[in-house]
Chains A and B, each alone.
Chain A
């Protein structure tokens, strides 16, 4: 809740409804402004228009993959401040490298404990605020 009292904005890009429910709940509880989009298509547009502080980005999305979105965001100089936390169902070390190489700021493998996710979200946003 830093940054002059402005609420942090988080965009959740996740196609699994049950995980999205939990993420919505967590973001509300942490006091973030948040929104969710269930498909990769349109996610980039939303990121451009909403300019969130953080994108919780699932890798395995229908139509457009999380990697693709990540690369596009990083290629857009106007979105340089947007943090990306990638979430993947596989979570191999190779995938982590790939995600980080494509510009993700953090990487978390499913299944994860909500506390783990919360800590990672704070780490990224606090680093930005620092």
Chain B
């Protein structure tokens, strides 16, 4: 028996019990010895009484000493040890009570000093970890902002060409109808050959700093993209291994290339169309003016006729080519479409910053093709130059043919064009010496002039070649960056059934329908889905679209999901949406709450869509049954309530609201499944089959 395993108090008690027993044994032995020696049997009673009295006294004394020992030493020691443990492991920060251990000498003050020192060290450490964590979080946030704002698309891919990072610009460049997603193949978005070629070439160099420039094309819409690839170093020595991933920066050069090609074509045509009539004219006039030139009237008339025709050809060629040059000129400058009201506001803001005069901006609802910063600088310069002698300034932007007219109006003296022209020669305040008003106007292939409007008013006119009526503001380029660097080190799994759950990608989805019976003609009116990658819901990767069911939506269904006939009138049909959803769900396990219902609607449309939804499927109803038992209620409300997930009232019964709730419920069920030893997809499916026959159908 190992006494060390017994508690201190028990050991002390046993020690005193042994002492008492030993004393009593010694007493009994002494009395027996004395009695034998005396040899008087009648003295037995006296011996027994004396022995009993002495035994009680000895036991009483020892018990009293044990009690004092237990109260003042053993108990305080245990309390002190518990206190030290609590302060060591449970982060208790109150001071130890030295009074309870006052008989332990300096032990209690010493223990108090240790725990206090421990607390101080620990709070200093916590504080410094917190400080460092905050600093890192801020740094991370700044880097995210920076990367989300760089005007090029940035992708980070694993060696297997799976995406682990992308920014908003990349989404914009690669998007089309199929937005990029984490852990998807980069070849879903970019043509394979140039990427593979550049990657192989970089691996061969074995130089971690080498970069490769390449041209590639987007799969969605064939945009030409100029890209730069650089390998990611792995390990501390920056040695590039075979498994290294790479960073790809992308810039859309389609318009540059188109502009360059059209300019080249125009130049070729210019030389071609001028050279021939110029050569003919030179020859014809050479003959006509030669001393021995033709003298007969018919011959001269023939030469003159030919010369006239060639001169006309030359003139016509110059005019038509010039017109085309003018029409294309603005395309050669990087001009963006800017809202007229934004331009007006920007000029007002610039003037306010320069403490210039107030300006009333009256703008038509137009999008103007212009270089915003330079145009704002030019207009602000003009207002400043018009000076205080002119007042009641207005900036009016109106539609004019295919373009717009920017007019800066005032009350006061007219502006001579010579003065206006001289203003245009000065550099604008844009930080570049060679940017003058004249250059800005040339970049827009435009002209500028003053006009007298009568009634003491004048204006400066600046027409723009290209403008269009404002339609709906296009969605802004998303600024978010999306990433999961853990994917870089994740090994690719083979068979889904043997893959650990956290290594699988999931697409959680929900459908809203015209009714409950697909066999009776009910159809999908909305599909929403979210992706779960590496055990995390990727917030930006969302599929949410209405579907035109091609039939009436009964009022009773509209009452449930709020989707009416009018809302889906312009929506795409199930064939289009189904294809996009199929792409969104590619390579993922599909999850739905009561999956057979949603899958039935999808699978009925496989023929029309031309694709089959053969993804592995999980059903959160059955997962709930596995975790909480069959007797529980497994409705989405009950499940989310049980897991502490709240669905906002406005999101309940919307496809996306229910989808997000299902996804979050699934993520909370994952650890519970793992704790039951269900680690792989195969384990889960096998367990689930005990709870229902549905999965047999869904997972083959």
A102 at the interface (CB under 8 A from B): yes
Cβ contact within 8 Å between A94 and B463: yes
Contact with A along B397-429 (1 / 0, CB 8 A): 000000000000000001011100100000000
A67-B318 in contact given A94-B463, A113-B312 (Cβ < 8 Å): no
Q: Which residues of B contact A (CB under 8 A)?
A: 311-312, 314-315, 318-319, 322-323, 326, 414, 416-418, 421, 445-452, 461, 463
Cβ contact within 8 Å between A102 and B318: no
Cβ contact within 8 Å between B449 and A65: no
Contact residues in B for A72 (Cβ distance below 8 Å):
416
Report which of B312, B322, B446 forms a contact with A91, defined as CB distance below 8 A: B322
Cα distance A111–B418 when bound, in Å? Answer: 26
For B326, B414, B421, B447, which residue has the most chain A Cβ atoms within 10 angstroms? Answer: B447
Contact residues in B for A94 (Cβ distance below 8 Å):
326, 445-447, 463
* Interface residue count on the A side (C-beta < 8 Å): 21
Cα distance A102–B449 when bound, in Å? Answer: 8
Q: Within the complex, what minimum Cβ distance (angstroms) separates B672 from chain A?
A: 72
> Closest 5 A-B residue pairs measured CB to CB?
A94-B447, A111-B315, A98-B447, A98-B449, A68-B418
Which residue of chain B has the shortest Cβ distance to A116 in the bound complex? B315
A112 at the interface (CB under 8 A from B): yes
Q: Within the complex, what minimum Cβ distance (angstroms) separates B427 from chain A?
A: 21
What are 9 A-B interface contacts by the 8 Å CB criterion?
Answer: A67-B417, A71-B417, A91-B322, A92-B323, A93-B326, A97-B447, A111-B314, A111-B318, A112-B315
Contact with B along A65-98 (1 / 0, CB 8 A): 1011001100100000000000000111111011
> How many Cβ-Cβ contacts under 8 Å join chain A to chain B?
52
Q: Within the complex, what minimum Cβ distance (angstroms) separates B123 from chain A?
A: 73
Cβ contact within 8 Å between B322 and A71: no
Contact residues in B for A1 (Cβ distance below 8 Å):
none
Contact residues in A for B448 (Cβ distance below 8 Å):
98
Contact with B along A105-127 (1 / 0, CB 8 A): 00001011100000000000000
Q: Within the complex, what minimum Cβ distance (angstroms) separates B343 from chain A?
A: 19
Cβ contact within 8 Å between B315 and A95: no
A21 at the interface (CB under 8 A from B): no
A101 at the interface (CB under 8 A from B): yes
A26 at the interface (CB under 8 A from B): no
Q: Within the complex, what minimum Cβ distance (angstroms) separates A43 from chain B?
A: 13
Q: Within the complex, what minimum Cβ distance (angstroms) separates A93 from chain B?
A: 7
Cα distance A91–B321 when bound, in Å? Answer: 12
A61 at the interface (CB under 8 A from B): no
Cβ contact within 8 Å between B417 and A90: no
A64 at the interface (CB under 8 A from B): yes
Cβ contact within 8 Å between B322 and A102: no
Cα distance A65–B421 when bound, in Å? Answer: 10
Cβ contact within 8 Å between A92 and B326: yes
Q: Within the complex, what minimum Cβ distance (angstroms) separates B412 from chain A?
A: 16
Which residue of chain B has the shortest Cβ distance to A93 in the bound complex? B326
- Contacts A94-B326, A94-B446 known; 4 new A-B pairs at CB < 8 A: A65-B421, A71-B416, A71-B417, A112-B315
Contact residues in B for A75 (Cβ distance below 8 Å):
414, 452
Contact residues in B for A111 (Cβ distance below 8 Å):
311, 314-315, 318
Cα distance A98–B417 when bound, in Å? Answer: 11
Contact residues in B for A113 (Cβ distance below 8 Å):
311-312, 315
Cβ contact within 8 Å between A102 and B447: no
Cα distance A125–B312 when bound, in Å? Answer: 26
